[in-house]
Amino acid sequence: MKIISHKLEKEHAAFIETKKTSGNFKAGRPDILVIHYTGSGNLESAVSTFLDPSVSASAHVLVDKNGQLTQMVPFNKVAWHAGRSTHLDRTGLNRYSIGIEVVNAGRLTPAGKSFVSWFGRKYPEEEAIQATHRNESEAGWWEQFTEAQIDSVFRLCKVLIATYPIKYIVGHEEISPGRKIDPGPAFPLDKLREKLLSGSRKDDTPAEEKTPEKGVVNATALNIRSGPSAQRETVAPALTRNTPLKILGKENGWYRVETKITGWVAARFVKPEN
Ligand SMILES: [Zn+2]
């Protein structure tokens, strides 16, 4: 993936321009990536919100359920995604940051055997995850992000870090606590930071670098694929939680594993066991 003239290359992202920007970033910016969820059921409704002149909101990139990217504001221009926000000694973070919106409904409410989003759509049990928000004390239910989305966000952040002077990755919930809960606990925000901004911390965590020999599936359903990428086809039905895995190798955040069959799974959904 590459960025040319502050836009993602055509083969990697659609570009649907919104005029909702405050103009160019100042020198030395953007230096923060802000992760959000859209709080919507699909890409289309989020895109139309960001195009709607009566709503003061926009973002640089949207990440659809299948991982596909839609850019709406060039990366050299300020978008309107953070609102009232604070990070270290700075406020009003739109002026410093790139906004990435991941299509996801957010918090779900249990309703019998399934779950309901705030906009009234039903979600089956397999699409929900129970987890505790970093700003809350009790566990709640959240829509799971897809493997393709998370893979896509990791790759997008990586190219943004390589192109702009990015020093921080934050969640909206961290810069606007009390007002915002996105991206929520279903999103692996700490992993993202650890993986992409760990340059200076690497030496302290050599254990992280070692590939474990065994592990178990740490997700409700984990796709097993023919190669180390969410773009590769699955080779068997999704593995269920706690399926034991023998880990044969590692590549780009993916493990080659052996269970009843051999294939590749995203390493972040495997809990090591030794
Ligand atoms: Zn947000």
Question: What pLDDT does 203 receive?
Answer: 40
Is 118 part of a structural domain of the chain?
Answer: no
Answer with the one of 196, 225, 258 that is the final residue of a domain. 196
Q: How many angstroms separate the alpha carbon of residue 222 from the centre of ligand 1?
A: 27
CATH number, domain of 256, equals: 2.30.30.40
- pTM score of the predicted model: 0.74
188 and 91, same structural domain?
yes
251 and 214, same structural domain?
yes
Q: How many angstroms separate the alpha carbon of residue 207 from the centre of ligand 1?
A: 33
Which residues are catalytically annotated?
101
Is 27 part of a structural domain of the chain?
Answer: yes
Is 100 part of a structural domain of the chain?
Answer: yes
Question: What pLDDT does 274 receive?
Answer: 72
180 and 79, same structural domain?
yes
Is 94 part of a structural domain of the chain?
Answer: yes
Question: What pLDDT does 207 receive?
Answer: 46
98 and 157, same structural domain?
yes
Task: Write out the residue range of the structural domain in which residue 259 sits.
Answer: 210-273
Q: How many angstroms separate the alpha carbon of residue 105 from the centre of ligand 1?
A: 12
Question: What pLDDT does 209 receive?
Answer: 58
Are the C-beta atoms of 49 and 55 separated by less than 8 Å? Answer: yes
159 and 90, same structural domain?
yes
152 and 92, same structural domain?
yes
Question: What pLDDT does 206 receive?
Answer: 46
Q: How many angstroms separate the alpha carbon of residue 113 from the centre of ligand 1?
A: 29
174 and 66, same structural domain?
yes
219 and 185, same structural domain?
no
90 and 154, same structural domain?
yes
Question: What pLDDT does 202 receive?
Answer: 41
- Enumerate the β-bridge partners of residue 90: 87
Average pLDDT, 10 consecutive residues per value, the chain (274 residues): 96 96 97 98 97 97 98 98 96 98 98 96 96 94 97 97 97 97 97 83 48 91 92 92 94 91 93 85
Answer with the one of 154, 172, 196 that is the final residue of a domain. 196
CATH number, domain of 175, equals: 3.40.80.10
Question: What pLDDT does 64 receive?
Answer: 98
Structural domains of the chain, count: 2
Is 170 part of a structural domain of the chain?
Answer: yes
